[in-house]
DNA sequence: GTCTATATCGAGATAGAC
DNA sequence: GTCTATCTCGATATAGAC
């Protein structure tokens, strides 16, 4: 175990990760996390100074989760276009959660941009978007179109967020599938120049 | 004044509307609304039984705001395609707020889908999306393509939400403008069949 | 390291005077 | 209709025993 070892710490982060996703950060209390882990409230302060510190740990955890996801996209194939397809399909592997709770980074970001105080977690949040954005840019560059990489990455992220939001609001599984298919068609069309 | 008359009631709704948008529903307290209006907390309960009742009134107010916006789109021109362009450009008229707080209906919806208890406001929220969706469908039908109306309306809403989310997260004014321009190009291209 | 007990604060909500 | 005073609860956070 490193500096962040301890099984209990990890259990707290896991429960918080799940609860922040399903209920939202502000709607999740220490009691909720305590109920889910069986670890008493007061104990949290041995591992974290504040609730915001737990949030930071959760965001770090999501960063790791997304890195793993991207690595899986890379393992699947060496073709950058296919890798992008792999990324786009990812929400389908989490379909029921996406329909119920939206995007793990998009919905959390939306909640945290409203935060008046803390600007700290703000930077952490765009870090997850940046991770995806940079990875997409790499794939585009490998396709020999580095000049379009930035614009394209932003467009792709925007489209995915839009499809997920609408699917979530209407709990519309058909639209989620159709929206992703449309993005894939757009991928093929726009990257074959 | 009708059943919902009273200047004070209106001032409460106006302040809540603004605060729910800039801070979020759950992050806005009665004290916040009291500070902004000068009306004491206890007084709110003369006009509303619960905080959720205030939320319902705010959603109703946004419904009215969006109806007015759509009516303005209709006044501008009789051409359905131009009316859609008018709708798409709307976020630019609220640019600074959109960059800071996102979409008034999108961000509120994202916050409220997480609500475990109340299913009431849930239905109210999709009502605003439905208002936009139905209006878009009307325009498409008038263009003689009623079969595509539903799919097209969902796509358009998803694209706008996506562009707004990314603009908001990165506070990227250039992307907001570019994203809207891209949607307009897509509008022209896809509706000229 | 782990747990209980408790402090402190601010939230939504109520009662009742004026 | 308007205002003050107050209730109750649950939130984050702390102290200190074991």
The model's pLDDT over A114-148, given as tens digits with 9 standing for 90+, comes to 977 766 667 788 999 999 999 999 999 999 999 99
The low-confidence residues of chain B, meaning pLDDT below 50, are 1
Q: Cα–Cα distance between A179 and A175 in angstroms, integer?
A: 6
Structural contact between residues B187 and B82, judged by C-beta atoms closer than 8 angstroms: no
Structural contact between residues A106 and B165, judged by C-beta atoms closer than 8 angstroms: yes
CA of B115 to C1' of D14 (A): 30
Residues 6+ apart with CB under 8 A from B60: B124
CATH class of A1-48: mainly alpha
- CA B45 to mean position of chain CA atoms: 26
The low-confidence residues of chain A, meaning pLDDT below 50, are 1
In terms of DSSP H, where are the helices of A77-172?
Answer: 80-93, 95-101, 106-112, 120-142, 149-170
Q: Which residues of B touch A (CB under 8 A)?
A: 22-24, 26-27, 100-102, 106-107, 109-111, 113-116, 125-126, 129, 151, 154-155, 157-163, 165-166, 168-170, 172, 175, 178-179, 182
| Identical fold, A1-48 and A52-190 | no
Cβ-7 Å neighbors of strand C:
A 5-6, 8, 39-43, 46; B 28-32, 41-42, 45, 49-52
Q: Cα–Cα distance between B64 and A183 in angstroms, integer?
A: 33
Lookup result for tokens 């979020």: B24
**Domain ranges in chain A?**
1-48, 52-190
Q: Cα–Cα distance between A30 and B45 in angstroms, integer?
A: 30
Question: Nearest CB to B26: which of A26, A110, A158?
Answer: A26
Helix (H, G, I), strand (E, B) or coil at A106: helix
SS3 content of chain A, % helix, strand, coil (to 5): 80, 0, 20
Q: Which of residues 35-74 of B touch strand D (CB under 7 A)?
A: 39-43, 46
CATH number of A52-190: 1.10.357.10
Residues 6+ apart with CB under 8 A from B135: B70, B87
Q: How far is CA A190 from CA A2, A82, B181, in A?
A: 45, 14, 17
Q: Is the dihedral of CA B32, B65, B114, A21 positive or negative?
A: negative
Q: Cα–Cα distance between A29 and A35 in angstroms, integer?
A: 10
- Superfamily of domain B74-190, CATH level 4: Tetracycline Repressor, domain 2 (1.10.357.10)
Q: Cα–Cα distance between A17 and A9 in angstroms, integer?
A: 12
* Chain A closest-CA separation from residue B150 CA (Å): 11
């Amino acid at each position: 175990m490193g500096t962040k070892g301890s099984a209990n710490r990890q259990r707290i982060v896991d429960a918080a990760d799940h609860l922040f996703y399903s209920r939202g950060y502000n709607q999740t209390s220490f009691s909720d996390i305590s109920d889910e882990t069986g670890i008493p409230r007061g104990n949290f302060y041995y591992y974290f100074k504040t609730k915001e510190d737990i949030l930071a740990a959760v965001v770090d955890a999501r960063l790791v989760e997304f890195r793993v996801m991207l690595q899986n996209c890379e393992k699947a194939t060496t073709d950058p276009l296919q890798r992008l397809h792999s990324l786009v399909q990812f929400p389908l592997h989490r379909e029921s959660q996406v329909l119920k709770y939206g995007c793990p980074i998009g919905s959390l970001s939306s909640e945290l941009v409203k935060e008046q105080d803390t600007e700290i977690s703000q930077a952490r949040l765009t870090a997850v978007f940046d991770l995806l954005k940079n990875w997409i840019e790499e794939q585009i560059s490998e396709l020999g179109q580095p000049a379009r990489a930035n614009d394209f990455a932003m467009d792709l992220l925007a489209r995915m967020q839009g499809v997920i939001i609408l699917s979530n609001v209407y709990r519309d599984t058909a639209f989620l599938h159709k929206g992703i298919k449309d993005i894939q068609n757009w991928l093929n069309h726009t990257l074959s120049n």
